[in-house]
């Protein structure tokens, strides 16, 4: 019988470094958690995801019905970092991975260095299914396609209309978009309105410095690495330093932050607190997270606007580790899960915006509304927000560099650390990457 489990990978993984792969022993294909074949030849395929991908029991049951002899077990890690730790450790060990492993775009580049650890998913029949840049993100320099795209993360602004009303701000989503678009619609305007809100209410404007950092970095074309040779340029990049200073000023200088670390228990609880934050950066996949943490809370809405123009936060891929015992069956399941029909179902379930060309043109998507967000035309808004997205160069050190800056901002925003000292700590950590 198929089941969904939530794994606490970190305890089992213990070690997080992708460097493990460089020194890993040779793998023994077939020694995986997904190796489960009974005497009748029936097999169990394991699918490991994290956060919310929108895959439902009904979707898996549909696949099982059309593929007799296959049972699907869905494992869901709490966070992307947790999933990464598990994958890196078990990939290095050569065993223990699921038949299908979901990978987030920020740590995909480090795995592209090891395409032999994954099944090449190239399939001429699937040419043209995805946006070109989505395919390029999962293609190794040597040409192997190691992941099928699931979603992308065009960003809008989610806001609490009830909290806006209490602060004397407009509540209508078009008026909110117009307000945040004034003066060029950049981050300065977002922070300016936030200061107006916080001055009037004494409550936080956004949830965390880390979230704002992610939104700003995802608009810098080459933030951390030189695409010519992958040398790290992050600490000398004036755009990166300017973003750090702006996030620090807004978060602690102007006290616009709720001073929380995203994905922490305190962050989860704050959605329902009296002094909850009024806005969040909202890629499509975040809509399901907001709704999931806001049971009983009313007033959330979505504005068709984003500071600084278009931005993409996140988006994931389904890979098939080469160590698996049922790689052909896993490849077929991964292709099915990332087909336009299934991605539209995932979008309807959790708001994960599809990366498939056909799905993005679907009337079902364009006409979709989200009842939790005051019946906002979420499909139309996210399609609009997807226009103008430019890809950010992410090399093999992107995740590690971004993690160093995020750690610094957590210390500043959540723990009251000195901004200059934490910048220096991040620089030291980044320089240690080589």
What digits encode the pLDDT tens for the residues 325-372?
A: 999 999 999 999 999 999 999 999 988 999 999 999 999 999 999 999
pTM: 0.85
Q: How do residues 265-314 score in pLDDT, each as one tens digit?
A: 999 999 999 999 999 999 998 998 999 999 999 999 999 999 999 999 99
Q: Is the model more confident about 211 or about 27?
A: 211
pLDDT of residue 391: 87
What is the DSSP-derived secondary structure letter of residue 126?
G
Task: Say if CB 340 and CB 354 are below 8 A apart.
Answer: yes
Of the CATH numbers 3.40.225.10, 3.10.580.10, 3.40.50.1580, 3.40.190.10, which one belongs to the domain with range 43-152+314-367? 3.40.190.10
pLDDT band at 256 (very low <50, low <70, confident <90, very high): very high
CATH 3.40.190.10 placement within the chain: 43-152+314-367, 153-312+378-432
pLDDT of residue 8: 34
Name the percent of the chain lying above pLDDT 90: 86
- pLDDT at residue 165 above 60? yes
What's the chain's average pLDDT? 91
Q: How do residues 387-430 score in pLDDT, each as one tens digit?
A: 989 889 999 999 999 999 999 999 999 999 999 999 999 999 99
Pure H helices in 35-143: 57-66, 80-93, 108-111, 132-137
Fold held by 153-312+378-432: D-Maltodextrin-Binding Protein; domain 2 (3.40.190)
Q: Is the model more confident about 285 or about 190?
A: 190
Any residues with CB less than 8 A from the CB of 370 and at least 6 apart, and which? Answer: 287, 302, 351, 376, 378
Distance in Å from the first CA to the final CA of the chain: 48
pLDDT of residue 375: 97
pLDDT of residue 415: 97
Q: Are strands 151-152 and 148-149 parallel, antiparallel or unpaired?
A: unpaired
Name the percent of the chain lying above pLDDT 70: 91
What's the average model confidence in pLDDT over 99-104? 97
pLDDT of residue 18: 52
Task: Say if CB 277 and CB 258 are below 8 A apart.
Answer: yes
- pLDDT at residue 22 above 90? no
Longest Cα–Cα distance of the chain, Å, equals 69
pLDDT of residue 2: 44
pLDDT of residue 272: 94
pLDDT of residue 351: 87
């Amino acid at each position: 019988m198929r089941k969904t489990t939530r794994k606490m990978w970190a305890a089992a993984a213990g070690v997080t470094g992708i460097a493990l792969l460089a020194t890993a022993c040779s793998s023994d294909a077939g020694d995986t958690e997904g190796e489960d074949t009974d005497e009748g030849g029936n097999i169990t395929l394991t699918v490991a995801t994290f956060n919310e991908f929108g895959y439902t029991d009904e979707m898996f049951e549909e696949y099982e019905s059309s593929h007799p002899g296959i049972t699907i077990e869905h494992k869901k890690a709490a966070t992307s970092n947790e999933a990464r730790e598990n994958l890196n450790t078990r990939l290095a060990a050569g065993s223990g991975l699921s038949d299908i492993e979901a990978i987030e775009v920020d740590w995909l580049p480090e795995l592209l260095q090891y395409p032999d650890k994954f099944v090449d998913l190239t399939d001429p029949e699937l040419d043209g299914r995805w946006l070109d840049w989505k395919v390029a993100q999962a293609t190794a320099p040597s040409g192997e396609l190691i992941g099928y795209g699931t979603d992308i993360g065009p960003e809008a602004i989610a806001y609490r209309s009830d909290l806006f009303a209490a602060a004397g701000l407009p509540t209508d989503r078009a008026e909110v978009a117009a307000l945040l678009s004034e003066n060029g619609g950049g981050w300065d305007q977002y922070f300016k309105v936030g200061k107006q809100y916080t001055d009037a209410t004494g409550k936080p404007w956004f949830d965390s410095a880390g979230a704002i950092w992610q939104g700003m970095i995802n608009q810098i074309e080459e933030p951390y690495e030189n695409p010519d040779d992958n040398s790290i340029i992050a600490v000398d990049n004036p755009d990166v330093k300017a973003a750090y200073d702006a996030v620090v000023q807004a978060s602690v200088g102007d006290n616009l932050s709720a001073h929380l670390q995203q994905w922490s228990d305190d962050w989860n609880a704050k959605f329902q607190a009296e002094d909850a934050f009024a806005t969040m950066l909202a890629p499509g996949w975040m809509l399901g997270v907001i709704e999931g943490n806001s049971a009983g809370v009313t007033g959330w809405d979505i504005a068709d606007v984003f500071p600084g123009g278009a931005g993409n936060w996140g988006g994931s891929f389904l890979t098939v580790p080469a160590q698996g015992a049922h790689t052909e069956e896993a490849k077929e399941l991964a292709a099915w899960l990332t087909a336009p029909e299934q991605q539209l179902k995932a979008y309807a379930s959790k708001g994960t915006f599809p990366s498939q060309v056909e799905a993005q043109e679907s009337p079902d998507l364009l006409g979709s509304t989200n009842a939790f967000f005051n019946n906002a035309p979420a499909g139309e808004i996210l399609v609009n927000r997807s226009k103008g997205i430019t890809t950010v160069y992410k090399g093999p050190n992107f995740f590690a560099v971004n993690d160093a800056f995020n750690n610094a901002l957590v210390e500043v925003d959540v723990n009251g650390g000195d901004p200059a000292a934490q910048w220096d700590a991040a620089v030291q950590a980044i320089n240690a990457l080589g």
